[in-house]
Structure 1
Amino acid sequence: MNAAKRETAGAEAHPVCIRLIDVGKSFAGVQVLRNISLDFRQGEIHALVGENGAGKSTVGKIAGGYYSRSSGDLEIFGERVGAWDAATALARGIAMMHQELQLVPELTVAENVFLGIEHRRAGFLKRDEDQRLAGIVALCGFDLDPSARAGSLSIADQQKIEIMRAMARDARVIVMDEPTSSLTADEAERLHATMLRLKSMGRTVVYVSHFLDHVLAICDRVTIMRDGRIVRTADARDETKASLVAGMLGRADAEVSYPEKTVPPARGVVPLLKVEGLTADTGVGGVDFEIHPGEIVGLIGLVGSGRTEIARAVFGADPAEGKVLIDGERYAERSPERSVALRIAMVPEDRRKQGLVLTQTVRPNMTLPHLSAFSLAGFLRLGAEGDAVRRLVEHLGVSPRHVDGDVVNYSGGNQQKVLLGKWIMRDPKIVILDEPSRGVDLGARRRIHEFVSELAGRGVGVLLISSEMEEVLGLAHRAYLVRRGRIVREVVPGEVGEDELLWTLFQDDDAPASERRAS
């Protein structure tokens, strides 16, 4: 059977659920989608891949009703539709799971999952969420306390709530925007199993992802996007990682590579940052480590190991006991304000809730912690501020390259670049990076990695936290293994393998030593 006949046969076997016809989308005069024509079929897992800013998330949000289209037509289950929003999409059987979490922090896990679709009797709510949640948990394989407050959970657990919320709507089509960006490898495998179960039930999954190995492993078709256009749509079995990267970037680039590590000064000098006996109620227990000028030091641990809590305690975002020394001088009464004044920067893991003001443009987002540097007699010097922001926008490759662009409409990778610019604007001497490339594609990730190396080359001390062990090993000069809020080992990348590190991280501190060795 030739390719055309296979395509026709596939279309007949799998009716079209959603069809975009010459769809365009613009934000504030900036065109992000250009005449997109694409269909998603019943009973398939269809991936959208591309660099950040390529338009893949925008396509997903148009399908899910969260964005209106600027031009073109939309067909839903064979019927052309006019006005289209999230409520209408959900009523028609299309649910969306966002990369940037859309939870109500004060509600419980169960309440968030069933928000808007609660059971009622005689006009009153029936409190049966826990029982209803049991079936969703069984399908997804996630283990969460139904009564836990969503805001108290880790980013990874909050992402599981988003997945279960989409599942609870019994949707025929589920758009998943970077659903594995905060999940461990095991959790990602469970999600993939769930997606395959949905496919076997005749459901459609639109899978927006930058994890190309995942795409090739579970998807039926893949659409490659670049600069708001479709490069091609093909069977996933006919693609390779190299061909996907070439399509995304417009060139045959290699896989993720890391810049050559700078050589930090000799360890005999006074450490730039020295931490002794750091303890906090957030689970940090007696942590000791140090960072020298020009050194990238990583924290490696499983989700929930306490890496972020250590960073927040050092920065002063959480109260903590213990000794912190900057250039050999005691840093007491720590707070974010004092840390900024001491040229210590922290890029948090959740850019939308902890890092950016989404109602503002690029300019105030980058300069917010540094307004005194651009003020004279109480007035903001707009020219100086604009020049400083413009230099960083160019240097970091933020796209669109407008100092007054609306951050809320930027892709995840470009929002991350804005967040980096915010914290390195005033020449910091210590930078704490918590998940700097979360939800970021290959091209943006390379630029971020290059920038981290640039910081070290300028003598900045970098504390790097990442759920991707390969990223820490590829960038860091040294790394500390973190388990249950404690540092259990110091390692030098290249001298130990990932399997040995994972074995250490998975050990049970409460088990007898003989059992730990046997495992």
Structure 2
Amino acid sequence: MDTPERVNRSTAPEITVSGIGKRYGASTVLRDITLSVAPGEIHGIMGENGAGKSTLLKILGGAIAADFGVVKLDDREVKIAEPRDAIAQGISLISQELALVPGLSVLENVFLGRWANTGSLLRSRRDADHLERLLAETGFELDPRAMAGDLPIGQQQQVEILKALARGAKVLCMDEPTAVLNEAEKAKLLKVIRSLARLGTTVILVSHYLEEVLGLVDRVTILRDGQHITTEDASGHTPESLVGLMVGREVDFLIPEVRPVPPEAKTVVQVAGLSSSKVKDVSFTVRQGEILGIAGLVGSGRSETLLAMFGADRTTSGYVQINGRRLRANSIREAIKAGMALVPESRKEQGLVMCRPVDENIALSTLSGRSLGGFVRVAREKAAVSEISHSVDLRGARRGSLIADLSGGNQQKALFAKWLLNPPAVLLVDEPTRGVDIAAKARIHGMIADLAAKGTAVVVVSSELEEVIGLSHRIHVMRQGRIVAEFDRNASRDEVMASAFLK
């Protein structure tokens, strides 16, 4: 696929979708969606998990085909049945799951798909010059020779944006673009989105960060249960008014009340001198009913600390002790047996088996308790899964449906349900509400607080400082693999941020 060296995005088309519908079996995901997006507009698509937001973006980006309806560009009907159709029309989809080749360089990833047409050194020089212009235009600071797989997630996302622009994208469809970014990376990306829009690029954005959306978009479209509710100017809305439209009811925005830890509460978790390739001499304790928050920048060692505790990352020294019992190092089986559970950062890569049904995923971690002589007690499993699914408000899941067919928020609820079938003594949670809507976020916060109230020791890692501060009894801040500061729940956002950034 060849694309022009200089892209004139001032010719971005008006996009109109009319009567768009999508079904999966008996489930209707989108029904009769009709809306228009103006050239150069930043347009927000909002709704609860399962409302159909990502499905609509995937249809525009050619990742899936609509069953009904038409897409028009400047009043011209176009067929978008696969990604190459969308790219040919100047539309690029940037999904939550980035599509880079880790073993290729930034330059090679940006121009991926064009090699078959040319192989000369001249082409390589032209590509390098083209990338240099795009880097200057966006303000991204990337080494063209760096391997994509070695970059932090924020820079990998920048490569995805450059790849879209290099293909001549006039329309960027962005699904949760800031979900995996730290505060500084978010600010930089939002600045780039505004700059691209000023140059004429149309941006269609799905995000659960309400304040972020209101500060960025021109208009907002609300979807609910697969239907178009309204499209309005963003300037007339507040986060509360958006939520009212999204869910059709009032939602409590507040972090749930976290009960104080009783003075007599015993120590459940002791981490002593834990070290791995990314963690250096980490030590802390967590008492029964306590929520310990771990804050820090991406790459500070937050996630790696949880993985090392769980036995998923190989440790080189130190130990973890649960209720006085020292765990064998580097053994996930040992950690689970001792009552530890991990809700990982990436539900799709680390937490769920995407090609298997919802009920199997939920039942997987406690399978041995419902087995006899190598056979699963199906009736017992069905009853247990049904009860916990109702408890976490899991929606869109029928018996036999694949976990991959659920929305991101409902996949996250299923991941929690997997461990709540048998409530753990220790719960490690990494980015508990990434990519979920405000109602699902409130539900998940409530689950964490309830578990702590019942005596579970909880360790929470989150890039959202408000979440860490609001949920936690104590907060540790990590930098370069080490704990560098400790705060109580009365800490300010500025104090925690300063500890994360400043040496």
Q: Same fold (TM over 0.5)?
A: yes
**Residue 301 of structure 1: aligned partner:** 296
Which residue, 496, 501, 505 being the options, matches 2:500? 505
Offset from partner CA, 1:65-107 (integer Å, 9 cap, x none): 1121122222233222345221111111110000122233333
Report the residue type matching 2:193 in the other structure: M
Report deviation, 1:136.
Answer: 3.0
CA distance in 2, matches of 1:227, 1:130: 45
Offset from partner CA, 1:17-52 (integer Å, 9 cap, x none): 321111111112111112111112211111111111
Report the residue type matching 1:151 in the other structure: G
Report deviation, 1:222.
Answer: 0.8
Report deviation, 1:368.
Answer: 2.4
**Residue 4 of structure 1: aligned partner:** none
> Given that residues 270 and 328 in structure 1 are in contact (C-alpha distance below 8 angstroms), is that contact kept between their aligned partners in structure 2?
no
TM-score (norm 2): 0.92
**Residue 418 of structure 2: aligned partner:** 422
Report which stretch shifted further, 146-155 or 230-239.
Answer: 146-155
Instruction: Report SS of the residue matched to 1:446.
Output: helix
When residues 207 and 122 of structure 1 are mapped into structure 2, their CA distance, relative to the original with a 3 A threshold, is closer
Where does structure 2 lack aligned partners over 5 or more consecutive residues?
Answer: 1-9
When residues 94 and 140 of structure 1 are mapped into structure 2, their CA distance, relative to the original with a 3 A threshold, is same
Report deviation, 1:400.
Answer: 0.6
Report deviation, 1:424.
Answer: 2.5
**Residue 116 of structure 1: aligned partner:** 113
1:141 partnered with 2:175: no
**Residue 359 of structure 2: aligned partner:** 363
When residues 86 and 421 of structure 1 are mapped into structure 2, their CA distance, relative to the original with a 3 A threshold, is same
**Residue 27 of structure 1: aligned partner:** 24
Offset from partner CA, 1:279-307 (integer Å, 9 cap, x none): 1122x111110111111100011122111
Report deviation, 1:133.
Answer: 3.3
Instruction: Report SS of the residue matched to 2:303.
Output: helix
Which residue, 97, 102, 105 being the options, matches 1:100? 97
1:408 partnered with 2:408: no
When residues 253 and 424 of structure 1 are mapped into structure 2, their CA distance, relative to the original with a 3 A threshold, is closer
Which residue, 280, 289, 292 being the options, matches 2:287? 292
1:277 partnered with 2:273: yes
Offset from partner CA, 1:432-466 (integer Å, 9 cap, x none): 10001111110110000001011112211110000
When residues 269 and 295 of structure 1 are mapped into structure 2, their CA distance, relative to the original with a 3 A threshold, is closer
**Residue 194 of structure 1: aligned partner:** 192
Report deviation, 1:234.
Answer: 1.0
Q: After TM superposition, which residue ranges in structure 1, 4 or more long, deviate above 6 angstroms?
A: none
When residues 120 and 68 of structure 1 are mapped into structure 2, their CA distance, relative to the original with a 3 A threshold, is closer
**Residue 44 of structure 1: aligned partner:** 41
When residues 376 and 79 of structure 1 are mapped into structure 2, their CA distance, relative to the original with a 3 A threshold, is same
Q: Percent identity?
A: 41
When residues 216 and 259 of structure 1 are mapped into structure 2, their CA distance, relative to the original with a 3 A threshold, is same
> Given that residues 79 and 85 in structure 2 are in contact (C-alpha distance below 8 angstroms), is that contact kept between their aligned partners in structure 1?
no
CA distance in 1, matches of 2:442, 2:303: 23
**Residue 217 of structure 1: aligned partner:** 215
> Given that residues 370 and 426 in structure 1 are in contact (C-alpha distance below 8 angstroms), is that contact kept between their aligned partners in structure 2?
yes
CA distance in 1, matches of 2:494, 2:197: 33
Report the residue type matching 1:298 in the other structure: G
Report the residue type matching 2:447 in the other structure: F
CA distance in 1, matches of 2:122, 2:365: 45
CA distance in 1, matches of 2:481, 2:402: 38
CA distance in 2, matches of 1:203, 1:504: 37
What number of residue pairs does the alignment pair up?
492
When residues 108 and 398 of structure 1 are mapped into structure 2, their CA distance, relative to the original with a 3 A threshold, is farther
CA distance in 1, matches of 2:454, 2:152: 33
1:311 partnered with 2:306: yes
Report the residue type matching 1:452 in the other structure: I
Which residue, 256, 259, 263 being the options, matches 1:259? 256
> Given that residues 328 and 334 in structure 2 are in contact (C-alpha distance below 8 angstroms), is that contact kept between their aligned partners in structure 1?
no
> Given that residues 112 and 165 in structure 1 are in contact (C-alpha distance below 8 angstroms), is that contact kept between their aligned partners in structure 2?
yes
TM-score (norm 1): 0.89
Report the residue type matching 1:288 in the other structure: S
Instruction: Report SS of the residue matched to 1:272.
Output: strand
When residues 258 and 93 of structure 1 are mapped into structure 2, their CA distance, relative to the original with a 3 A threshold, is same
CA distance in 2, matches of 1:387, 1:137: 55
CA distance in 2, matches of 1:226, 1:369: 33
Which residue, 69, 73, 79 being the options, matches 1:72? 69
Report the residue type matching 2:427 in the other structure: V
> Given that residues 46 and 222 in structure 2 are in contact (C-alpha distance below 8 angstroms), is that contact kept between their aligned partners in structure 1?
yes
**Residue 55 of structure 1: aligned partner:** 52
1:326 partnered with 2:322: yes
Report deviation, 1:492.
Answer: 0.7
Report the residue type matching 1:433 in the other structure: V
Report deviation, 1:394.
Answer: 0.9
Instruction: Report SS of the residue matched to 2:14.
Output: strand
When residues 351 and 124 of structure 1 are mapped into structure 2, their CA distance, relative to the original with a 3 A threshold, is farther
> Given that residues 42 and 202 in structure 1 are in contact (C-alpha distance below 8 angstroms), is that contact kept between their aligned partners in structure 2?
yes
> Given that residues 66 and 85 in structure 1 are in contact (C-alpha distance below 8 angstroms), is that contact kept between their aligned partners in structure 2?
yes
CA distance in 2, matches of 1:159, 1:392: 35
**Residue 389 of structure 1: aligned partner:** 385
Instruction: Report SS of the residue matched to 1:42.
Output: coil
Report deviation, 1:248.
Answer: 0.9
CA distance in 2, matches of 1:500, 1:243: 31
Which residue, 139, 152, 156 being the options, matches 2:154? 156
> Given that residues 408 and 435 in structure 2 are in contact (C-alpha distance below 8 angstroms), is that contact kept between their aligned partners in structure 1?
yes
Report the residue type matching 2:73 in the other structure: I
CA distance in 1, matches of 2:225, 2:159: 32
Where does structure 1 lack aligned partners over 5 or more consecutive residues?
Answer: 1-12, 509-519
1:88 partnered with 2:85: yes
Offset from partner CA, 1:404-428 (integer Å, 9 cap, x none): 2222121111111111112232221
CA distance in 1, matches of 2:189, 2:105: 21
Report the residue type matching 2:471 in the other structure: L
Report deviation, 1:232.
Answer: 0.7
When residues 249 and 269 of structure 1 are mapped into structure 2, their CA distance, relative to the original with a 3 A threshold, is closer
CA distance in 2, matches of 1:124, 1:402: 55
When residues 16 and 132 of structure 1 are mapped into structure 2, their CA distance, relative to the original with a 3 A threshold, is closer
> Given that residues 345 and 424 in structure 1 are in contact (C-alpha distance below 8 angstroms), is that contact kept between their aligned partners in structure 2?
no
When residues 111 and 371 of structure 1 are mapped into structure 2, their CA distance, relative to the original with a 3 A threshold, is farther
Instruction: Report SS of the residue matched to 1:104.
Output: coil
Report the residue type matching 1:158 in the other structure: Q
Instruction: Report SS of the residue matched to 1:218.
Output: coil
CA distance in 1, matches of 2:300, 2:246: 35
**Residue 475 of structure 1: aligned partner:** 471
CA distance in 2, matches of 1:125, 1:408: 43
> Given that residues 100 and 352 in structure 1 are in contact (C-alpha distance below 8 angstroms), is that contact kept between their aligned partners in structure 2?
no
CA distance in 1, matches of 2:307, 2:354: 22
When residues 327 and 310 of structure 1 are mapped into structure 2, their CA distance, relative to the original with a 3 A threshold, is same
